Chains A and B, each alone.
Chain A
Amino acid sequence: MSVSRRQLLMGAVASAPLFALTACGSGGGRDGAGGGGGGLSAWALTGGPEKVFRSTFARWNKDNPDHKFKVQYFANDAYKQKIRTSVGSGNGPTLIYSWAGGTLKDYVASKDVVDITDKIPTLTKRALPAVLDVGKVDGKVYAVPINNSQPVLFYYNKKLFKQAGVEVPKTFGDLLAAVKTFKSKGILPIALAGQSQWPELMWIEYLVDRMGGPEPFKKAFEQKKGAWSDPAFKKAFGKLKELIDAGAFGDKFGSVVADNNADAALVYTDKAAMLLQGSWVYTTFTNDAAKWFKAGNLGWFDFPSIEGGTGDKSNVYGNPSNYFSVSSKASKEDQDRAAKFLDKYNLSDSACQELIDMGLVPAVQNIEGKLAASKDKDFLQYTYDQTKNAKSFQLSWDQALSDKQAQTILTKLSAFFLGKASADDFISAMNGTIK
């Protein structure tokens, strides 16, 4: 077969984009906001305290015009998927945003983040010790808190409580009685975002804690063989079943999505009486239902204790904070600059004030005065005390454990809520994930 020059030329022209593409593939990530070679970069999440991140980074960039941070903001789910691939391929940002827990352990194990224990003296003194501890692996600091504590608590609709003549439940028995009262009046007792799955986790976390304290989960977290067979788990599932069977969550929770705050919407549209959610939902009530909120319809309380349970009522579940780690792929100088940023600019006085103004409680000490001056002081002081006085502030299970275990928990728990799996199914599946 003869190949004319023209044919060869056409082939070359047609395949040129391919080489261009492959060239992009190997080199592209480096000059973008990714960390690899050049300059400081950070990725954070949109929404919530995004505004505070923006102003904090702006302050750094103003003081350090030669070493500016390039910051990109992502939506929650998009970020979680992108960050792992980026860090895994060495193209992550200098500052890696996380929830600490299982993911941080993975990063440390594959040496993607550096030990900054000695580089953050100021922050070590300021941050709440319990919150700081979550960013430690083997006693060394690999991640530091960067925003607000997010304990999980009960919200309730005061108007509906008054109409039904129900008092704030102090014990599980009270809660069950309240559920039955609301149900008989045709009101959804508790809003639950079942489609998102993770809100279901809050229920079993608290029930296990009130039943047997933080120890049963601690054993599971340490991957002790058969840890999930602790009687506290089985008993907690029994209590959960009582609630489900009493119609506490109605029969349509499977369609409710937390990402668009449909669960909170059920409460402020007077369709549901209670909601167990993170402190971040508070701003949804104040923003999306301003009129309803100003009428004094929103109340909140701790998760009730269980009769016969050993868990302390002050124990809290939730996200102690979000965290920044410093990438090991950044140059030594950039690592030091990033650490300096975390120590001096992160959670500075002005940043904390901005968080408080937004109705969020920064994870630092001695801010009672500032909180008392806030327009949201009732709620802020409540969550601050909740965080500060907690005998145990446990990171939610899906963040604390490995991703594989988290997925098994969420899938099995969702099936349990739908009546498609038993407590024993859950327990044996979870024991099966421990090798």
Chain B
Amino acid sequence: MSSDGTAAAAADRPTSSGAEVLLRKKEPLPDADPSGPGSPRRSISASSPKASRKGPSLWMLAPAVAFFAAFGLVPLLGTVVLSFCDWNGLGSPTFSGLDNWTSVLKDGSTYHALWLTVLMCVGTFVVQFPISLLLGVFMAGQQRYRAVMSVLYFLPLLFSAAAIGIAFKNLLDPNFGVSNALHLGLLQQDWLGSPTLAFWVIIAVVSWCFIPFHSLLYQAGARQIPKSLYEAAQLDGAGRVRCFFSITLPQLKYTMVTSTTLMIVGALTAFDLIYVMTNGGPGDATRILPVDMYLDGFKSNQMGVASVVAVILIGLALSFALLLNKLSGSDRMESQMEGM
């Protein structure tokens, strides 16, 4: 997202070209940046009377906009059109009106997938948020042992999702997996083969994968908090816990918005790990919407039906992201550094 800085600057301009409307939508991203670059820039450009003349030319946007249009907007529109067509991947699509939409919306399995997707969002958030916040704040300290720990925590981020999926699938195998090697009865569960367990195992593995990333965000956020705030609080007699709740947490507000947005959107589009580990099974126990879309499209070869699911998914992800920004008030974007 190298265009974000440019986007924030361009959004201040009074002109309203098509490109700009596009980029306005992407505003949450720069806003959500933990260091909050939008805010200082805004004050600089507002204080300068020639603001609309200065700054980079709009032409600088052209490549980004062209890319976004070619690889973002056009496929998106194609998907919407395809959701009204009947196509098995061979030959040419034929228009079928609302058939796909009614069949998807009437199908109980769609609502099952939707419910699982919501569970997935909530589940991964509940697991990831507290752990990564605490880890991140812990890692923000400067002691050497923390650096060593940070490297260890960081490891899962270095592996590819497919490799992680295959590794966990084999480790969790009840017949030949780690439980069998260690002869631990309690571990000898049918982790990925039981419809009740599999979903929670997936949440655990997804969290294991992404906690390092979110910890990193919180670490960066926590390091940005000025020392003087803590010193002042300590003079007033505040302990560690008090400092955490009264200084660290409020100062990490924008980091939380970023991290939560990424978590929710990540859960909405989670696919690779699930596909590798369970393929949506056993039965339909882990068939969340993205997996449902893939199986409909590329296994059942019903591109129209898959497109309907895709459009629903896009709608969900966009409204979640917007809602989160409205609720957190980060679109107003006050500086947290005022008076510092």
Chain A residues within CB distance 8 Å of chain B = 1, 3-4, 7-8, 10-11, 14-15, 18, 22, 81, 84-85, 87-88, 106-107, 109-110, 112, 194-195, 197, 251-257, 262, 265-266, 271, 402-404, 406-408, 411, 414-415, 418, 420-421
Contact = CB atoms under 8 A, between A and B. Distances in A.
A253 B62 contact: no
Given A7-B57, A252-B175, A403 B300 contact: yes
B299 A18 contact: no
A15 B66 contact: yes
A45 B135 CA distance: 47
B40 interface: no
A431 B63 CA distance: 52
Given A22-B70, A262-B176, A415-B283, A407 B194 contact: no
B91 interface: yes
Interface in B139-184: 169, 172-176
Contacts of B198: 254
A266 B57 contact: no
B59 interface: yes
Contacts of B176: 262, 265
Q: Is the interface of B mostly helix, strand, loop or mixed?
A: loop
B89 interface: yes
Given A11-B60, A404-B301, A256 B282 contact: no
Interface stretch (B118-126, B185-193, B330-338): B185-193
Given A106-B90, A195-B281, A403-B301, A262 B173 contact: yes
B27 interface: no
Nearest to A110: B91
User: Size range of the interface on B?
Assistant: 35 or more
A18 B301 contact: no
A110 B91 CA distance: 6
A415 B67 CA distance: 43
Interface of B: 57-60, 62-63, 66-67, 70, 88-91, 169, 172-176, 190-195, 198, 278-279, 281-284, 295, 298-302
A107 B57 contact: no
A256 B170 CA distance: 10
B175 A81 contact: no
Contact of B63 (A18, A411, A418): A18
A15 B59 CA distance: 11
Nearest to B91: A110
Nearest to A412: B283
A8 B60 CA distance: 9
A254 B194 contact: yes
A404 B300 contact: yes
Given A4-B57, A256-B175, 9 more contacts: A11-B62, A15-B62, A84-B89, A84-B90, A84-B301, A195-B192, A262-B173, A262-B176, A403-B88
Contacts of A418: 194-195, 282-283
A254 B190 contact: yes
Contact of B284 (A85, A112, A256, A411): A411
A1 B281 CA distance: 57
Contact of A407 (B192, B283, B300): B300
Point out which of A7, A254, A403 has the most chain B C-beta atoms below 10 A from its C-beta: A254
B322 to A, nearest CB: 29
A251 B279 contact: no
The 3 closest A-B pairs by CB, nearest first: A254-B193, A255-B193, A110-B91
A257 B169 contact: yes
A402 B139 CA distance: 54
A18 B300 contact: no
Contacts of A402: 301
A8 B281 contact: no
A256 B58 contact: no
Point out which of B58, B63, B169 has the most chain A C-beta atoms below 10 A from its C-beta: B63
Nearest to B280: A411
A22 B172 CA distance: 44
Nearest to B63: A14
A294 B89 CA distance: 47
B127 to A, nearest CB: 22
16 contacts: A4-B57, A11-B60, A106-B301, A107-B90, A110-B90, A110-B91, A112-B90, A195-B193, A254-B193, A254-B195, A256-B193, A262-B173, A262-B176, A403-B299, A404-B300, A414-B282
Contacts of A403: 88, 299-301
A88 B66 contact: no
Contacts of B90: 84, 87-88, 106-107, 109-110, 112
Contacts of B282: 194-195, 254, 414, 418
A384 B194 CA distance: 38
A252 B300 contact: no
A191 to B, nearest CB: 9
Given A84-B89, A262-B173, A414-B283, A3 B193 contact: no
A28 to B, nearest CB: 16
A3 B301 CA distance: 49
Given A7-B59, A18-B63, A414 B298 contact: no
A271 B89 CA distance: 43
Given A10-B60, A15-B63, A415 B193 contact: no
B192 A254 contact: yes
A3 B53 CA distance: 11
